[in-house]
Structure 1
């Protein structure tokens, strides 16, 4: 329980934007970057002269976020908006094509956007449970379509192996609330009328996607894959459950601190090809042992595990393959 307690009440961060060198020439993409954690992360990267894309549904909100960042940080890199609707699989390829029209490489992708506990019965444009669609299926497809740009970045002469990275946003709820082996696949295929359970399933899915991405792509392309718990933070993730925000208020921290966790997951040199698929916890630390059954789920059967993470990856591949 001590490990969980330290995530609720983390020690002071030891990795901040002050520890990040100039990111001039690097291309970064943050989904959900117009508010909360993504906004603070975009501000940090812009201040380090990175070329930053804020991807989201609302151009108006993104333009306002860009304006606020540029006013707060007078000298920086560049900020651009990318239209992205993660709950509409049919639109994601067009978003990637729009990005590819401007960029030929991508150094770090933060799959930051998410939805939590929308009204029961909420579904995506294709009829999938909304949290599964927005938190897992959309990011899965988005990452798959961006893979060639990540590979191009990883082959650059100036890149340290493992510095090109995909960051997946999990949650402490996974370790606290996920069932044995993390996910019951029948609940993914036929989601229960329980928004909390579906949220936990989607966040466990992010943890599994990070692990499987590392297993399938890391060694061949020198790309690291990291899942992280951003921490208990006051953001608009609670927009569907405002009562929870007030109930949890004593435990909630500012988005800036959670953005430091994301910054560490995306840029820290502590993360290498040797520890790809590591799990990062607040406010920028590599966790020790995950819950044993979760670790087992991320191993294949021939490695002594259950292969549940691989099964979830294949589920996502099956549901998105027609939209590639």
Structure 2
């Protein structure tokens, strides 16, 4: 299943800040919030008086993001909490979650928003894993594991509606551009994964992220915490900064003609994280994902099927992918 025309050229967002209630007292955690759709998402939530934890590597960029968001919404009664977190470092992830848990006893939605696209050759996380696989799969896996208890606790609070507590996995249409099966685990083990182009590795990492969203869907099933995987859309963000080396200048120029503003992607995330149209029934079969700019669609059948086979029957190559992730995170989970 490829991408439909309406996926590539989506209709206008139907769920925006106009649809949001007052979010006073609600707590949100966003990775990668210092620019692009992450910044826009944080601003949308803050505008409705939410408490927003902004998790990123650079303190100076975090400080700048806080200032910018406050200037955008000077009358907000919400709060912004900069949090140092480097998804390339498992130690940093553990430290950041400890700090968060010391400051908040609830978490309404965790947004795995941070990403990297086609970094320079040889880029790795702090533990020797290809950077895109580390940032898109291993980092969110560890972060979700460490925060699952506070998410489950939040579900039980009297002001929380059923289905409102969520983990949002910001994926990509790249997931459906992978070869059949999405992830070749043997190539991860023998190093052949590194022989693929940076953009191909990006797509595989996003398929891996879809599989991890499925794993947590089953881990947290019955707890009231929903897991939602999405494609925010083709956007003009900082994520494109390293991608320009992958295409010619004319290709880059043409690509930019089709890129939407970051706010459109933020609306996709907003829909996935807060829309009442997202419910457990729609997500149960693991074949649903959110596409631009806030619609539920069916995932490519082989990816959905492999994910369901792994979490329901404990069989298939995705189980091996989960094992590979566990091996990389040994001592941290």
Q: Report the TM range for the smaller structure's normalisation.
A: over 0.9
Aligned residues of 1:212 and 1:310 also touching (Cα < 8 A): no
Is the 8 Å Cα contact of residues 310 and 319 (structure 2) preserved in structure 1?
no
**Deviation digits for residues 30-64 of structure 1, max 9, x if unmatched?**
00001001000000000011100110000111111
Classify the secondary structure of the residue corresponding to 2:329: helix
2:167 maps to what in 1? 166
Residue 210 of structure 2 aligns to a residue in which SS?
A: helix
Within 2, Cα distance between the matches of 1:159 and 1:306?
A: 35
State the 1:313 CA deviation: 2.6
Aligned pairs (5 A) from 1:38-53: 38-53=38-53
Q: What are the superposed Cα offsets for residues 282-318 of structure 1, whole Å, 9 maximum, x if unpaired?
A: 010001x322211211122696896344432332223
Q: CA deviation at 1:192?
A: 2.3
CA contact (8 A) 1:212 1:309 kept: no
- CA change 1:302–1:32 in 2 (3 A) is closer
SS state at 2:277 partner? coil
SS in 1 for 2:65: helix
SS of match in other structure, 2:4: helix
Instruction: Give a deviation string over 1:114-147, Cα, whole Å, max 9, x none.
Output: 1111111111111111111111101110111111
Equivalent positions of 1:12-31 (< 5 A) are: 12-31=12-31
SS of the residue corresponding to residue 298 of structure 1 reads helix
Match of 2:233 in 1: 231
- What's the counterpart of residue 93 of structure 1? 94
Deviation at 1:209, TM superposition (A): 1.0
Assess if the C-alpha contact under 8 Å between 1:47 and 1:73 holds in 2.
Answer: yes
User: How many equivalent residue pairs?
Assistant: 321
TM-score when scaled to structure 1?
0.94
Q: Deviations over 1:71-102 (max 9, x none)?
A: 11112211110100000112211111111110
Unaligned runs of 5+ in 2: none
Q: Name the TM-score, length of structure 2 as normaliser.
A: 0.92
Listed one character per residue, the Cα deviations across residues 216-249 of structure 1 (whole Å, up to 9, x for unaligned) are 2122x11000000000001011121225543411
Corresponding residue number in structure 2 for 1:131 = 132
Match 1:286 to one of 279, 296, 303 = 296
CA gap 1:302/1:173 in 2 versus in 1, 3 angstroms? closer
Distance 1:170 1:302, change over 3 A: closer
- Structure 1's consecutive aligned runs of 4 or more residues displaced over 4 angstroms after TM superposition are 301-306
Separation in structure 2 between the aligned mates of residue 48 and residue 309 of structure 1, nearest angstrom: 39
Distance in 1 (alpha carbons) for counterparts of 2:310 and 2:9: 36
Inter-partner Cα distance in structure 2 for 1:310 and 1:160: 33
Q: What are the Cα deviations for residues 244-302 of structure 1, in whole angstroms up to 9, with x where unaligned?
A: 54341121000000100000000000111222353000010001x32221121112269
Aligned to 2:258: 251
